[in-house]
Amino acid sequence: MTAQGPGISGLSRPELWSLPAYNAGVPEDVVKRRYQLSRVTRLASNENPLGPSPQALAALRNWTEQLHRYPDPACLALRKLLQEHTGVDAGRIAIGNGSEDIIQSLCLAVLSPGDRVLTPAPSFGLHEIFPRMMGAQVEKVRVSTAFTYDLSAWTTALRTPVKMVMFSTPSNPVGCILNREELTALVAAAPEDSLLVVDEAYFEYAQGPDYPDSIAVLAAQARPWMVLRTLSKAYGLAGLRIGYAIASDPDLVGLLDRVRTPFNINGAAQAAAMAALLDPGHLQTVVSVCRKQRASLAHALGDLEARGHFGLRLAPSHGNFLFLDTARSSSAVAEALMQRGVIAKPWRELGFDTFLRVTVGTADDSGHFLSALAPSLAAIATTDAG
Ligand SMILES: *Cc1c(COP(=O)(O)O)cnc(C)c1O
């Protein structure tokens, strides 16, 4: 040891040394300043372009009178409301400072070094980062070439003991879902003692005959499970940070309570979340606008490909985003888009670094994206000769 000591990296747990950073993207004003732009379109974080319910905004304004008070650490009123919404007893509902906070608490509570965790590839970054932070071994199951969950690959991977199985449906970033038969088969293939974590961040967008009631599927079997939902996406409250989980057992909620900080869900978020949940009309508008814009954006991308032969391939999506193979370095494409005022998310995961994830915004947002995309693609050579 030198007089200066071993340095900061010597202080950290070894799990942190190779931990990937979450790719949270570039803020809007940084982009404006860097490229001297007056207009920037944010399509990198799957935010809701219509924002929250006006009733949530009104609840927030009223709530300011309680700014000096600590929030309810048990979120009782919100959990009671969610009990009515989901039909699940409030004792089996956990609230988090965003659903990512619940993922972190869950990993803190249940994972030990060496535990095996299964998640899809490509995957939501935090499904890998938080387990690895705990020293777990994360194994990934790749999506099929048709951009669907590869059930036979999952069945094989699930033959070996696994502590936690965590996936999103609709998948972030791909957009695919597991239908009832597929979800049932995947669950049945998991070892009896695995914890199943189903992240439904895009639940509201995916409602339809193909999208199963995962709580019913999971409740029909004995493995422990948790379903994650959030107010950040369709409810438009990403800035407040609030999400919830439905658990197989109240003791699982109790485990999260032991590792979280007591006041992790602020009062403003609790008040706004309740008001947002009580405005199903706004939610319906958000979802139907998104579906319409998603279809026209997908159609326009098809047209762009037919005209320009860029090599684009698009995954069908049940979420408020599209996953697009640009056939070139998506980091280079994202940079070229940014110069033109559009922020999209280049996927950096091994095997998917030609893919761009684009949020479905307003018709204007799509127009800006499409007009920036054609010259960006034309300026960048394809990765493959073909
Ligand atoms: C956006 C997202 C989250 C995070 O949601 P917060 O509630 O804002 O923390 C979690 N999981 C997936 C798959 C997401 O896409």
The residue whose C-alpha atom lies closest to atom 6 belonging to ligand 1 is 98
Q: What is the pLDDT of residue 9?
A: 77
* 287 plus 271 within the same structural domain: no
CB 102 within 8 A of CB 228: yes
For residue 132, give its domain range: 54-279
| Residue 73 and residue 31 in one domain | no
Ligand 1 centre to CA of 94 (Å) is 15
Q: How far is the CA of 348 from the centre of ligand 1 (A)?
A: 18
Q: What local confidence, expressed as pLDDT, does residue 6 receive?
A: 61
Q: How far is CA 364 from CA 25, 47, 207, 323, 360, in A?
A: 21, 15, 25, 19, 11
345 lies in a domain? yes
Atom of ligand 1 nearest to the CA of 102: 9
Residue 226 CB neighbours (<10 A): 25
Pocket of ligand 1 (CB under 6 A): 46, 98-100, 124, 168, 172, 199, 201, 230, 232-233, 238, 243
Q: What confidence score (pLDDT) does residue 189 get?
A: 98
Ligand 1: nearest atom to the Cα of 96 = 7
Are 222 and 310 in the same domain? no
Counting atoms of ligand 1 from 1, which one is nearest the CA of 238?
8
Structure tokens at 145: 């070439």
Atom number, ligand 1, closest to the C-alpha of residue 103: 10
Specify the pLDDT at position 227: 98
Please tell me whether residues 128 and 157 are part of one structural domain.
yes
User: Residue 23 has which token pair?
Assistant: 């790719």
Is residue 1 a part of any domain in this protein? Answer: no
**Residue 3 lies inside a defined structural domain of this protein:** no
Q: What is the identity of the amino acid at 310?
A: F
Helix (H), strand (E), coil (C) string for the chain: CCCCCCCHHHHCCHHHCCCCCCCCCCCHHHHHHHHCCCCCEEECCCCCCCCCCHHHHHHHHHHHHHCCCCCCCCCHHHHHHHHHHHCCCHHHEEEECCHHHHHHHHHHHHCCCCCEEEEEECCCHHHHHHHHHCCCEEEEEECCCCCCCCHHHHHHHCCCCCCEEEEECCCCCCCCCCCHHHHHHHHHHCCCCCEEEEECCCHHHHCCCCCCCHHHHHHCCCCCEEEEEECCCCCCCCCCCCEEEEECCHHHHHHHHHHCCCCCCCHHHHHHHHHHHCCHHHHHHHHHHHHHHHHHHHHHHHHHHHHHCCCCEEECCCCCEEEEECCCCHHHHHHHHHHCCEEEEECCCCCCCCEEEEECCCHHHHHHHHHHHHHHHHHCCCCCCC
Q: Which atom of ligand 1 is nearest to the CA of 101?
A: 9
CA of 228 to the centre of ligand 1 (A): 9
My answer on whether 286 and 275 are in the same domain is no
CA distance 360 to 264: 30
Residues 18 and 63 in one domain: no
CA of 383 to the centre of ligand 1 (A): 31
Q: Whose CA is nearest to atom 12 of ligand 1?
A: 201
How much distance in Å is there from the Cα of 45 to the middle of ligand 1? Answer: 9
In a domain, 266, yes or no: yes
Q: Are residues 273 and 288 in the same domain?
A: no
The CA-based angle 164-169-171, given to 5 degrees, is: 95
Residue position matching structure tokens 């300011």: 64
Boundary (domain end) residue, out of 279, 294, 311 = 279
CA gap 63, 242 in Å, rounded = 16
106 and 210 part of one domain: yes
Both 31 and 134 in one domain: the answer is: no
Instruction: State the distance from the centre of ligand 1 to the C-alpha of 232, rounded, in angstroms.
Output: 7
CA–CA gap between residue 212 and residue 185 (Å, rounded): 13
Residue ending a domain, choose from 219, 250, 279: 279
Tens-digit pLDDT profile for the chain (386 aa)?
A: 444 556 777 889 999 988 988 888 889 999 999 999 999 999 999 999 999 999 999 999 999 999 999 999 999 999 999 999 999 999 999 999 999 999 999 999 999 999 999 999 999 999 999 999 999 999 999 999 999 999 999 999 999 999 999 999 999 999 999 999 999 999 999 999 999 999 999 999 999 999 999 999 999 999 999 999 999 999 999 999 999 999 999 999 999 999 999 999 999 999 999 999 999 999 999 999 999 999 999 999 999 999 999 999 999 999 999 999 999 999 999 999 999 999 999 999 999 999 999 999 999 999 999 999 999 999 999 986 44
Q: Are residues 148 and 297 in the same domain?
A: no
Q: Is 46 contained in some domain?
A: no
In a domain, 385, yes or no: no
Where residue 222 sits, what CATH number does that domain have?
3.40.640.10
Same domain, 125 and 158: yes
Domain count within the chain: 2
Residue 48 lies in a domain: no
In a domain, 181, yes or no: yes
Question: Does residue 339 contact residue 371 with C-beta atoms inside 8 Å?
Answer: no
Q: Which atom of ligand 1 is nearest to the CA of 168?
A: 13
Q: How far is the CA of 125 from the centre of ligand 1 (A)?
A: 10
- What's the CA-to-centroid distance between 194 and ligand 1, angstroms? 22
- Do both 111 and 186 map to the same domain? yes
Closest atom of ligand 1 relative to the 124 alpha carbon: 13
Contact 26, 140 (CB under 8 A): no
Q: Which of 232, 260, 345, 358 to mutate to test ligand 1, by most ligand atoms within 8 A of the CB atom?
A: 232
What spacing in Å lies between the alpha carbon of 124 and ligand 1's midpoint? 8
Given the structure tokens 């535990």, which residue do they identify?
115
Domain end: 279, 297, 332, which one? 279
Cα angle: 128, vertex 347, 241; to 5 degrees: 60
Task: Check residue 7 and give its pLDDT.
Answer: 78
